[in-house]
Amino acid sequence: MAVRADNSAPTLSEPLAGHFAAFLAYLEAECGLAINTVRSYRGDLRDFLGWLTEHHGGQLDSVAAVDADRLRDYMQALRDRRLATSSLARRLSAIRTFYRFLIFDGVLTETAVEQFRSPRMWQRLPQVLSPDVVDRLIEEPGRIDTDRFPLRDRSVLGLLYATGCRASEVTGLTLRNVDLDEGLCRCLGKGDKERLAFIASPGVRRTLADYLETERPALVGPGHSPWLFVTRSGNQLSRVTLWKLVKKYAARSGISGNVSPHTLRHCFATHMLAGGAGIRELQELLGHASVATTQLYTQVEHSRLKGLHEQCHPRG
C-alpha cells in the first residue's frame, strides 16, 4: 500500500479534519510546542490520516478501529517509501500523541495504538569536525570574489559554533537579542524557552560588529528589519537558506560528509566536553530538557578518544 505525499493525500472528512485541527491547536497552545515541532506533527499525522482515509475510509469509526495490524500495514507502506527507521519512530510517536488527545478530549474511550512497539533504532553518533576543520569552514566566506555577503556568512557560521545554537535559534535572533559588549545573545529554543548563549570568541564578535556596521545596513536599505541576519532584500534569513550556506562553504573548503548547521552544534558540544565542561553545564548551554540527550556527546568523545588511541598507540 503506497503512502501518498501530503499534497496528494485524500481530503479528510469534516469530523476528522475538525479533530485534526483541534489537536494541532492543543499542541501549540497547551503543550507549548515550537512552531517547527507542530509543523512536523502536522505533516506526519496528515500523512497517516490520508493513508487511513484512502484504505479504510475517513470516518471516525475507521480511526477508532486502528489496531496493531493496521499500524503494521502503515509502517510497511512507509518502509516501501524507504523512510529511515528514525522517521518511522517519529511518525508512530505523532500517531500515539494524537490518539492520547482523542481519549483526553472524550472522542475515544480506548485505543490499541499504545500496544504497538516502536521500531528499534541504532543510536547514531553525530558527525563531529576537528577544531581546525571548523575554523577552515568559518573562514571560507570571502575567500573568492563572488561571495556577496562574506561578513554575514562568516558571522552566522561563527555564531553557530560559538554558541551551539540551533539553526532556528540563530535565524530567529533580533538586534535586541544580541549584546556584543557583554558577549551574550538571548535565543528562543524549543517550546519557546528562552536561554542565554555566550559569544566568547573575540573573532566572532569582531566579525559580527563589522557586519552590523557595513553589510547589514546595505541589505536592509531605508526600511527597518528587526532580524539580526537578513537576506539581500532585508528579510529574515531562513533556515533553508542557512542550510544551503553551510553546505556551500563546506563543499568549497573540502569538508566531506553530510555537514549541516546542526553539525556545528555537535562540534560545539563535543569540543566543550573535550575542554573539560561538565555534562550538566553543557545541558544548560545547549538548552536540552533532559540530560540524557546531552549524554550522547560523552559517547562521541569516548569514540574520538578511542580512535586517537588506535592511531597513536604503538600497539593500537
Portions of the chain given CATH number 1.10.150.130: 6-115
With a cut of 50, say whether residue 5 has pLDDT above it: no
Q: Identify the pLDDT of residue 84.
A: 82
What is the percent of the chain where pLDDT is above 70?
Answer: 88
Q: Identify the pLDDT of residue 1.
A: 42
pLDDT band at 3 (very low <50, low <70, confident <90, very high): very low
Give catalytic status of residue 306 as yes or no.
no
> Per-residue DSSP letters for the chain?
-PPPPGGGSPPPPHHHHHHHHHHHHHHHHTS---HHHHHHHHHHHHHHHHHHHHHH-SSHHHHHT--HHHHHHHHHHHHHTT--HHHHHHHHHHHHHHHHHHHHTTS-S--SGGGSPPPP---PPPP---HHHHHHHHT-TTSSTT-S-HHHHHHHHHHHHHH---HHHHHT-BGGGEETTTTEEEEE-GGG-EEEEE---HHHHHHHHHIIIIIHHHHHTTS---BSSB-TTSPBPPHHHHHHHHHHHHHHTT--S---HHHHHHHHHHHHHHTT--HHHHHHHHT-SSHHHHTHHHHHHHHHHHHHHHHHSTT-
Looking at 19, 70, 154, 166, which residue is catalytic?
166
> Per-residue DSSP letters for 206-252?
HHHHHIIIIIHHHHHTTS---BSSB-TTSPBPPHHHHHHHHHHHHHH
Q: Identify the pLDDT of residue 122.
A: 47
**Single pTM value for the model:** 0.66
Give catalytic status of residue 288 as yes or no.
yes
Q: What is the average pLDDT across 7-13?
A: 67
The better pLDDT of the pair 297, 82 is held by 82
Give catalytic status of residue 297 as yes or no.
yes
| Predicted confidence (pLDDT) per residue in 232-243, tens digit | 999 999 999 999
Q: Identify the pLDDT of residue 2.
A: 42
Give catalytic status of residue 266 as yes or no.
no
Portions of the chain given CATH number 1.10.443.10: 131-312
Tell me the CATH number for domain 6-115.
Answer: 1.10.150.130
| Predicted confidence (pLDDT) per residue in 182-193, tens digit | 999 999 887 778
pLDDT band at 291 (very low <50, low <70, confident <90, very high): confident
Which is nearest to 66 in space by CA: 112, 34, 24, 97?
Answer: 112
Backbone angles phi, psi at 61, to 5 degrees: -60, -40
Q: Identify the pLDDT of residue 4.
A: 40
Of the options 3.40.50.300, 3.90.120.10, 3.40.50.720, 1.10.443.10, the CATH number for the domain spanning 131-312 = 1.10.443.10
Q: Identify the pLDDT of residue 163.
A: 95
Looking at 152, 205, 216, 265, which residue is catalytic?
265
